[in-house]
Amino acid sequence: MTIQLIAGLGNPGAKYDKTRHNAGFWFVDELARRYNASFNFEKRFSGEVCRIVVKNQPIWLIKPTTFMNLSGVAVRQLADFYRIPVEQVLIAHDELDLNPGTVRLKHSGGHGGHNGLRDLHAHMTKDYWRLRLGIGHPGDKNKVHDYVLSAPSLNDSIAITNAIDAAADSIELITAGDMQNAMQQLHGRT
C-alpha cells in the first residue's frame, strides 16, 4: 500500500514556527524543499497544500492551518476530496516520548494525549501511518504545554533536524509502501 498524502502537524503563524510542536511542519517543509514544491493556501482543505512527485508517484503534502487541536478537519477534507484511503495517509508529528533525534515509523495506535492525533481520530479511523519525530519530554507533565510551544535548545534543534533529514532520506521507501525497510533504516540510526 503506497502513501498518497503526508500531513505535517503544527500550528500556523510566525509565533509558532520554531516551536517543538511544529516538527511535523518542519518535515513536510523539508520534503517540499527537496522536491522543489511550494505550499499554497487552499481554503477548501483548511491548509497549505502542495504536490510532490517521488519516483513517478504524486504525493500530496498538507500543513493544516486549523491549529494543532483541529488537525483532523484539514486532513480529512483533502483525503476525502482525492479519495485517499486512511491507510495511504502518513501523519508527521512531534513525539514527547522519544528523545530529540529519534524518529519512528508506526502504523495505527492510540493518540497518547497528543491533541492533533486525538482530533485525527475524531475525523477518521486511526489506521493511518505515523512518522514520530522525537522532541523529548520536560520531565514534568505540568510543563508539557509550555515545553511543546517553546523552541528547542541548539543541541535538540540539531538532533531534530538530523532526524527529519533521515526521514526525508527514507521517503522513497515510505511512499512506495516498503515500511519494513523504511523502519529498519530509520530505527537502526544511532
Question: Is the separation of the CB atoms in 148 and 19 below 8 Å?
Answer: yes
What is the SS3 assignment for 8?
A: strand
Mean predicted confidence (pLDDT) in 69-81 = 93
Quick: pLDDT tens for 19-64. Answer: 999 999 999 999 999 999 999 999 999 999 999 999 999 999 999 9
Q: What CATH number does the domain containing 50 carry?
A: 3.40.50.1470
The percentage of the chain sitting over the pLDDT mark of 70, rounded to a whole number, equals 97
| Per-residue pLDDT tens digits for 146-171 | 999 999 999 999 999 999 999 999 99
Tell me the residue type at 135: I
Query: Distances from the Cα of 50 to the Cαs of 85, 91, 139, 141, 142, in angstroms?
Result: 19, 15, 37, 36, 37
Q: What three-state secondary structure class fits 32?
A: helix
Total number of domains in the chain: 1
- What residues make up the domain containing 177? 5-187
The model's confidence at residue 190, banded by pLDDT at 50, 70 and 90, is low
Give catalytic residues, as residue numbers: 21
User: Global pTM?
Assistant: 0.95
Note the pLDDT tens digit of each residue in 82-137: 999 999 999 999 999 999 999 999 998 776 667 778 888 888 877 899 999 999 99
> How far apart (Å, rounded) are the C-alpha atoms in residues 142 and 163?
27
pLDDT at residue 171 in the model = 96
